[in-house]
Amino acid sequence: MPKFMPEPYRIKMVEPIRLTTREEREQALREAEYNMFRIRSDDVYVDTLTDSGTNAMSDAQWSAMLMGDEAYAGGRSYFRLLEAARDIFGYGYIQPVHQGRAAEKVLLPVFLHKGKFAIANLFFDTTRAHVELAGARCLEACCPEAANSQLRAPFKGNMDVGKLEQLILEKGPENIGMVVMTVTNNSAGGQPVSMQNMRETAEVCRRHRIHLNIDAARYAENAMFIKLREEGFSGVPVKDITRDFFALADSFTMSAKKDTIVNMGGLIGVKDADAPYILKVKANCISYEGFYTYGGLNGRDLEALAVGLYEGLDENWLRYRLGTMEYMGARLDEMGIPYQAPAGGHGIFLDAARFYPHIPYTEFPGQVLAVELYKECGLRACDIGSYMMGNDPDTGRQVKSLNEFTRLAIPRRVYTQSHYDMVLEGIGEVWRGRGDVRRGYRITWEPPILRHFQASLAPIEG
């Protein structure tokens, strides 16, 4: 039996949850038109829909909130946040915003417009949406290891640097508005990017004079993976690894709802405090988010964020965090259940295409598995596959995803080992019954952008 690393926290406030019956869950699914985002959280037992903003804050964060300065401009809490973010990332300009997509909305149009391209090691869904909303188009250059869930490699989130350079030459460097390095690589399964790969990517960008942005939601998990897996880093504090990693980029956009362990918040960072485009960033922020010393957040939120930036980097915490995923991965290995291996930093990405090889990507195997897991044990997970990818903005055709995953994204400091064990038993049951599921889902209604959040689905009969 794989060992579970004990939780490095104790619980001083609880929130009741209730396990529903199978009939209640089937009813809830029908009412939600099989969209996991439309199920009420009261009808969910263990919620792994996302690790975004679903974290439990610490007593230190809650007490810092009482110190929030709610001034409209120049608040003390802003300067506290600035100090923490500058200390950790070493960047000259820091801009709070209300969440990750707000950072994208404010920064991306400064570099992207019609005729331009952005290239990433894989785009997260909202990042892809904001590239397209700016009028630009997305190109991807993920390392080939990511496409094979059974191939165990230490840094499956890496950029394919050769492909990156090839895409740059093909489209012309002047047409590439930005390169985006997503850490960890969410769509590839929470897989890390190595320092070496970041260096090589930065070298290519520097040579072609292309802006390099880090999509930094999981900066701490990525740094811990570097410490644990990359040669030469085992003795280096993750805080130093983080600083060195960020020094290689020009800017970052960050959802602070992940590794920064708050419920709401985001950041933009610009390395060069004198970069002229900071004026545009400030102008966009004032128009869309609020004055640039609060960026759509309360003063108390800035305080919680400042504390969370450090808590996210605590190495005991990170050892437990990555240890939890490793434990779940090891239990799945024992049962012979396929997932993106080795386990990523923020969750388990089950390989739905291997659960249901007879279900084509146009019927969304990742969505099928999410529904089966919910029926089985009240676990809420979601598709990270073709259902999420949506349609090509130019041709309207369904895009085929690199992988068909069902993602269990684990909220931070919320659940305990017995929850994970229950979930693992549920996955085992669904795996054993996989042959009984013959067909997938069709979409009966979808909005034009980010459809997976809202679409209606129906099971295909037959």
- 351 is known as an active-site residue: no
- In this structure, what token pair is assigned to residue 356? 């249901």
Q: Please identify the residue of the shown chain whose CB is closest to the bound ligand PLP.
A: 100
> Is there a contact between 227 and 236 (Cβ–Cβ < 8 Å)?
yes
299 CB-near residues (< 8 Å, 6+ apart): 68, 69, 70, 71, 75, 76, 77, 78
Burial of 234 (0-12, 13-18, 19+ CB in 10 A): exposed
Gap between the Cα atoms of 47 and 33, Å rounded: 18
> Is there a contact between 18 and 443 (Cβ–Cβ < 8 Å)?
no
Q: How far is the CB of 51 from ligand PLP (least distance, A)?
A: 8
Q: How far is the CB of 198 from ligand PLP (least distance, A)?
A: 15
Distances, alpha carbon 339 to alpha carbons 123, 172, 350, in Å: 20, 37, 4
Catalytic pick among 37, 59, 60, 72: 72
- 353 is known as an active-site residue: no
Catalytic pick among 28, 84, 141, 217: 217
Extract the runs of DSSP E, i.e. beta strands, from 48-109: 93-97
Cβ closest to ligand PLP, residue 255 vs residue 377: 255
- 124 is known as an active-site residue: yes
Region of 211 (left: φ > 0; alpha: ψ -120 to 50; beta: rest) is beta
**Short-list 161, 169, 174, CA closest to 200:** 161
Cβ closest to ligand PLP, residue 130 vs residue 211: 130
> Is there a contact between 193 and 227 (Cβ–Cβ < 8 Å)?
no
Q: How far is the CB of 275 from ligand PLP (least distance, A)?
A: 22
- 125 is known as an active-site residue: yes
Looking at residue 435, the DSSP 8-state letter turns out to be G
- 355 is known as an active-site residue: no
Catalytic pick among 43, 47, 69, 125: 125
Q: How far is the CB of 344 from ligand PLP (least distance, A)?
A: 12
Reduced DSSP (H G I as helix, E B as strand, rest coil) percent helix, strand, coil of the chain, to 5: 45, 15, 40
- In this structure, what token pair is assigned to residue 141? 């250059």
Cβ closest to ligand PLP, residue 193 vs residue 359: 193
Q: How far is the CB of 271 from ligand PLP (least distance, A)?
A: 19
Cβ closest to ligand PLP, residue 188 vs residue 195: 188
Q: How far is the CB of 16 from ligand PLP (least distance, A)?
A: 26
54 CB-near residues (< 8 Å, 6+ apart): 47, 263, 411, 412, 414
Q: How far is the CB of 82 from ligand PLP (least distance, A)?
A: 20
- 72 is known as an active-site residue: yes
Looking at residue 361, the DSSP 8-state letter turns out to be G
Gap between the Cα atoms of 394 and 396, Å rounded: 6
Cβ closest to ligand PLP, residue 309 vs residue 337: 309
Catalytic pick among 4, 34, 78, 124: 124
Cβ closest to ligand PLP, residue 305 vs residue 430: 305
- 346 is known as an active-site residue: no
Catalytic pick among 105, 227, 346, 452: 452
Cβ closest to ligand PLP, residue 295 vs residue 426: 295
133 CB-near residues (< 8 Å, 6+ apart): 105, 449
Q: How far is the CB of 102 from ligand PLP (least distance, A)?
A: 7
Q: Name beta bridge partners: 214.
A: 181, 252
**Is the peptide bond preceding residue 184 cis, with omega within 30 degrees of 0?**
yes
Cβ closest to ligand PLP, residue 182 vs residue 201: 182
Gap between the Cα atoms of 431 and 416, Å rounded: 23
Gap between the Cα atoms of 179 and 159, Å rounded: 10
Cβ closest to ligand PLP, residue 107 vs residue 437: 107
Q: How far is the CB of 251 from ligand PLP (least distance, A)?
A: 14
- In this structure, what token pair is assigned to residue 190? 């929470």
Instruction: Name the residues that contact ligand PLP, by CB under 6 A.
Output: 52, 99-101, 124, 126-127, 182, 186, 215, 217, 255, 257-258, 266
Indicate which residues carry an active-site annotation.
Answer: 72, 124-125, 215, 217, 258, 452
